């Protein structure tokens, strides 16, 4: 019994962690590699969630079909913002980036409230995602298993693409020396837009997948901003693996602490993050500043 419940908690923590990874990895890349601190990243996640709600309720789309739609639309939105706004601020210092994107967060909160109301959005999941499955030793909800599988697949794909395409090295080269990168045949503008688009697409997908796990209301970007930033900074921004490990670590710790010490709330997570950051300010896998 004891073991079963621990296993189930670990399972839930991993599923939660994967979701955190999906919604945070785009920010980790833009922050760590491109030096752009985008606090509005959570707004894209929320947008992905609302898109699912709108498509399912308004147009009767099946849940599964909304997921790729969320990816595409959020990627386009991300690319649009990069082209129109963020591009001007790459060299404007992190304070301006932080402020501008906080402004966008507030605007997105207002718009979401206006369009969908202030309350939580209940979402009726298809029946097969409302079941409980037995995995031998313990039972899990099929929704979480689904999150885990889809999230895991996306993570694997992302890691593969990221390593194979040398994307990280290209972006870093473009940031360090734009001229040089361009003369090596890297289209820097397009590369940055692409990175933003993919990051936002994944974030939107994360938001779409997790409406029933994280909840969805207009204050979502503010509420989850913190978790996203903690995942990114604890993992060490710019490191995919670091972000993944931090997301899993925080996911598992959160699930355990909510189960065993519910009165502590989010305190456990913040304290864990603070300890890690005090001890290792660049994050677990971040590069030390030179």
Q: What is the secondary structure of 139-150 as a DSSP string?
A: EEEHHHHHHHHH
Q: Closest Cα partner for 142 from 12, 9, 1?
A: 12
Part of the chain binding other proteins (CB under 8 A), chosen from 125-133, 189-197, 202-210, 278-286: 278-286
Nearer to other proteins, 86 or 146 (CB): 86
Nearer to other proteins, 170 or 237 (CB): 237
Is 270 one of the binding residues for other proteins (CB under 8 A)? yes
CB neighbour list of residue 27: distance below 8 Å, 6 or more residues apart: 38, 41, 199, 203, 228, 229, 232, 237
- The minimum distance between CB 145 and other proteins, in angstroms, equals 31
Is 230 one of the binding residues for other proteins (CB under 8 A)? yes
Part of the chain binding other proteins (CB under 8 A), chosen from 63-71, 193-201, 241-249, 271-279: 271-279
Size of the site for other proteins (CB under 8 A): 47
- The minimum distance between CB 103 and other proteins, in angstroms, equals 3
The rounded distance, in Å, linking the Cα atoms of 201 and 193 is 12
Helix (H, G, I), strand (E, B) or coil at 282: coil
Is 31 one of the binding residues for other proteins (CB under 8 A)? yes
Nearer to other proteins, 43 or 141 (CB): 43
The rounded distance, in Å, linking the Cα atoms of 186 and 121 is 43
The region, left, alpha or beta by phi > 0 then psi within -120 to 50, assigned to residue 208 is alpha
The residue with tokens 């994280």 is: 214
The rounded distance, in Å, linking the Cα atoms of 148 and 282 is 28
Nearer to other proteins, 201 or 283 (CB): 283
The residue with tokens 């301006």 is: 96
Among 124, 132, 274, 287, binds other proteins (CB under 8 A): 274
Part of the chain binding other proteins (CB under 8 A), chosen from 30-38, 64-72, 125-133, 139-147: 30-38
Part of the chain binding other proteins (CB under 8 A), chosen from 119-127, 146-154, 197-205, 274-282: 274-282
- How many other CB atoms sit within 10 Å of the CB of residue 282? 17
Helix (H, G, I), strand (E, B) or coil at 205: helix
Is 175 one of the binding residues for other proteins (CB under 8 A)? no
Provide the sign of the torsion angle of the four alpha carbons 88, 90, 96, 102, taken in this order. Answer: positive
- How many other CB atoms sit within 10 Å of the CB of residue 116? 16
Give CA separation, 47 vs 4, 115, 168, 206, 207, in Å.
Answer: 36, 12, 27, 10, 7
Q: Tell me the per-residue interface mask from 59 to 98 with other proteins, x by CB under 8 A, - otherwise.
A: --------------------------x--xx--x-xxx-x
Q: Tell me the per-residue interface mask from 97 to 136 with other proteins, x by CB under 8 A, - otherwise.
A: -xxx-xxxxxxxxxx-xx---x------------------
Is 273 one of the binding residues for other proteins (CB under 8 A)? yes
The residue with tokens 């990221």 is: 162
Q: By CB under 8 A, name the binding residues for other proteins.
A: 31, 35, 37, 85, 88-89, 92, 94-96, 98-100, 102-111, 113-114, 118, 222, 225-226, 229-230, 233, 237, 263-267, 270-271, 273-274, 277-278, 281-282, 289
């Amino acid at each position: 019994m004891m073991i079963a419940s621990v296993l189930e908690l670990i399972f839930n923590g991993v599923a939660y962690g994967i979701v955190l990874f999906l919604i945070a990895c785009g920010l980790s890349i833009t922050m760590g590699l491109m030096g752009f601190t985008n606090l509005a990243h959570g707004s894209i996640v929320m947008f992905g969630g609302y898109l699912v709600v709108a498509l399912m309720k308004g147009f009767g789309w099946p849940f599964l079909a909304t997921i790729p739609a969320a990816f595409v639309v959020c990627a386009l939105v991300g690319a649009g913002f990069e082209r129109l706004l963020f591009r001007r601020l790459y060299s404007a210092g992190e304070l301006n980036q932080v402020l501008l994107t906080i402004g966008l967060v507030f605007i997105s909160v207002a718009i979401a409230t206006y369009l969908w109301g202030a309350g939580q959005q209940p979402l009726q999941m298809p029946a097969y995602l409302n079941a409980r499955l037995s995995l031998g030793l313990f039972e899990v909800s099929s929704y979480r298993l689904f999150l885990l599988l889809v999230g895991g697949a996306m993570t694997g794909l992302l890691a593969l693409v990221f390593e194979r395409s040398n994307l990280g090295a290209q972006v870093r080269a473009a940031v360090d020396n734009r001229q040089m990168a361009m003369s090596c045949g890297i289209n820097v503008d397009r590369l940055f837009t692409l990175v933003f688009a993919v990051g936002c697409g994944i974030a939107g997908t994360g938001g779409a997948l997790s409406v029933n796990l994280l909840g969805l209301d207009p204050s979502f970007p503010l509420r989850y901003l913190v978790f996203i930033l903690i995942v990114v900074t604890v993992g060490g921004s710019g490191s995919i693996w670091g972000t993944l490990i931090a997301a899993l670590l925080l996911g598992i710790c959160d699930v355990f602490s909510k189960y065993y010490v519910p009165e502590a709330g989010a305190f456990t997570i913040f304290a864990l993050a603070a300890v890690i950051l005090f001890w290792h300010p660049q994050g677990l896998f971040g590069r030390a500043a030179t």
